[in-house]
Chain A
Amino acid sequence: MSVRRETVDLSKADLDFLKKIVESGGEKILLCVQCGTCSGGCPAGRRTAYRTRQVVRRSLTGLKDSVLSSQDIWLCSTCYTCLERCPRGINVTDVILILRNLAVQAGFMLKSHKDVCTYLLRTGHAVPITDKYKALRKELKLPELPPTAHSYPDAVDEIRRIASKTGFDKLVGFEG
């Protein structure tokens, strides 16, 4: 039986966290009445511990650490069902994306996601072509490489330069 402090001290709530969400385009969450329509229709919520409504409540309460460190916010498939049905017109999906941005800034990022960034920065594609598929393209009478960044290395340079300008490369720990 583990015994520890359960009471949340509301005076320690991080209201700057809420302010940041509001300023990034999430101002409508202030209207939330916790009706649960979002969680009620969430496909991920039906099969995991992710509760959309609760993430919003925790954000409104300023529980920054618990929200940003949790895996829950990464279980959303951005299907937009919650945003469509919310009776207060809250852009719930957009709020989840804002929280994800803040989580990444705070250093919470899955390795598998970092890998996808590596593919993008190395090839310009999140899902780069492989030999198997080059052969398939050839079989289907297409040029082996599509006319995308795969065929133009300078395009990859452009992407790297953008990523450097925005600081994306450092953000995701890209090592070149």
Chain B
Amino acid sequence: MSGMRFGLFLGCIAPNRYPGIEVATRQLAPMLGIELIDLPRAACCPAPGVFRSFDQTTWLALAARNLSISEGLGADILTICNGCYGSLKEANETFKEKPEKLAAVNEILKETGRTYRGTIQVRHIAEVFYKDTRIEKIRSIVKKPLGLKVAVHYGCHILKPTKHRGIDSAERPRFVDELVEALGCESIQYKDRMLCCGAGGGLRTGALDVSLDMTLEKIRNVHQSGADLIIDICPFCHLQFDYGQIQIRDSQKEYYAIPVLHYVQLLGLAAGLDPKETGIYANFVPADQIIKKIGM
């Protein structure tokens, strides 16, 4: 599978909590020559932090089911979320390294009449933008350089385990910084930039206070750096930072009101999409001052 035609895997949080991310993605794709096809009946990836923790076989089977839908439509699968990316990619790598596991999973999938042959690749929209679309093309659709000071949050599953990802360094990555710089923004260094947001691994569900404490540490560091906003490439990190700031405000009484955007939303703004259409007004932490700052 190659070329710029992908099965758009939506996951759960983007369509069900932050649909603006979905909108921005769908609007940007044709502007960048990317064809997106829907994956009817796709379900939860399944969320690796919870379901892989409970039963690896079930996780593999549900992941394979999603992969088979895209394979059936003859397209590589494209995710807009680190969690979905991690889940589907790790499952795909497992099938490559241990074909007996693929055989076992296909036995289970017989219950649904589906088979996964293991022929497609799993992609993340940020790495497709960087490797396939490339910076020059991204720059070419920028109508308005945004001039913002951006704190980039990579998240974890996009880069690690590095031996399966091969995208960028896990300690000092650059590729999303470059994607942000292509929009006329400055990527600000802040302390512990590579720290996990705290949502994953079932932590947000199983120990919310611990997970929010990690988020608070990041928020404090971002605040100290003087950045205008946080950019993420994962709806779960996005939820953790956006809704999480409200939860922290209510429980810890500490609040910095730092707006949070997914990269596709930022790119959408730079490419001239109507801010209302990118769904940023639905954020819990108001994004108004961002819109003012970029003069829209």
Contacts and interface: CB of A to CB of B under 8 A. Distances in A.
Q: Is any CB of A less than 8 Å from a CB of B in the complex?
A: yes
Interface of A: 24, 43-44, 47-48, 71, 74-81, 83-84, 91, 93, 97-98, 100-101, 104, 109-110, 112-113, 115-117, 120, 124-130, 133, 136-137, 140-142, 146-152, 154-156, 158-159, 161-166, 168, 171-172
Interface string B1-30: 000000000101101110110110000000
Nearest to B214: A43
A24 B56 CA distance: 10
B160 A83 contact: yes
Central interface residue in B12, B160, B162, by most chain A CB within 10 Å: B12
Nearest to B49: A78
Given A79-B196, A166-B61, A101 B277 contact: no
22 contacts: A74-B53, A76-B201, A77-B199, A78-B201, A80-B156, A104-B53, A110-B205, A117-B50, A126-B12, A126-B46, A126-B47, A126-B51, A127-B17, A140-B277, A141-B277, A142-B22, A148-B42, A151-B40, A161-B111, A162-B65, A164-B111, A166-B61
B16 A154 contact: no
A146 B62 contact: no
B166 interface: no
Given A77-B49, A113-B50, A126-B44, 5 more contacts: A43-B198, A77-B203, A109-B54, A148-B15, A171-B54
A47 B39 CA distance: 40
A43 to B, nearest CB: 5
Contact of A172 (B54, B109, B201): B54
Contacts of B162: 84
Contacts of B277: 140-141
Given A43-B195, A162-B109, A113 B38 contact: no
B111 A162 contact: yes
B259 interface: no
B55 A104 contact: yes
A100 B211 CA distance: 18
Contact of A129 (B15, B53, B58, B199): B15
A149 B43 contact: yes
B16 A84 contact: no
A47 B212 CA distance: 11
B42 A84 contact: no
Contacts of B56: 24, 97-98, 101
A103 B282 CA distance: 39
B41 interface: yes
Given A141-B23, A171-B54, A48 B210 contact: yes
Contacts of A161: 111-112
B257 interface: no
Contacts of B13: 127
B44 A125 contact: yes
A148 B43 contact: yes
A146 B43 contact: no
Central interface residue in B23, B41, B160, by most chain A CB within 10 Å: B41
B86 to A, nearest CB: 8
Interface in B223-254: none
Nearest to A142: B19
Contact of B282 (A81, A136, A141, A158): A136
A88 to B, nearest CB: 14
B61 A162 contact: yes
Nearest to B42: A148
Given A74-B206, A113-B202, A158 B54 contact: no
B73 interface: no
Contacts of A164: 111
